[in-house]
Amino acid sequence: MHAPVISRKGVFHCGACHSVLVKRTSYLLHPHLRNDVYVCQNPLCSASYSGHTEITGLVSPSGIPNAPACDLPPTPAYERALAERALRQQQNDAQLDIFDSPSP
Ligand SMILES: [Zn+2]
């Protein structure tokens, strides 16, 4: 049994001969889910594999004004960024109160 090949470039390798797999076909099953078929580039092997690519979350929102809302959940990192922004805003609002002129 050969050790699995782990590519740092994110390229899949054939489980039988360890040659690079190339995406042959790809089609959408759902707006956020794609089915992919990969073929081994070794002509003597030519094994093929299928799999899925799925978009599962929103990492950062669109910068387009009035962009439609995203139906994907925010990633934990994005939720943390929103919470930090809200906390900063709250702290800034609290600081501004110091400089507000006292009401008569
Ligand atoms: Zn192969």
* Tens digit of each residue's pLDDT, the chain (104 residues): 556 666 667 899 999 999 999 999 999 999 999 999 999 999 999 999 999 999 999 999 899 999 998 899 999 999 999 899 999 998 888 776 555 555 55
Give me ligand 1 centre to Cα 5, in Å. 12
Instruction: Compute the distance between CA of residue 26 and CA of residue 53 in angstroms, rounded to an integer.
Output: 10
Note whether 78 and 85 are within 8 A (CB): no
Strand partners, 77: none
Q: How far is the CA of 39 from the centre of ligand 1 (A)?
A: 8
Question: How far is the centre of ligand 1, averaged over its atoms, from the C-alpha of 35 (Å)?
Answer: 20
**Polymer length of the chain:** 104
CA of 55 to the centre of ligand 1 (A): 28
Residue 7 Cα, ligand 1 centroid: separation in angstroms? Answer: 15
Q: Return the beta strands (E) in the chain as ranges.
A: 21-30, 33-40, 48-54
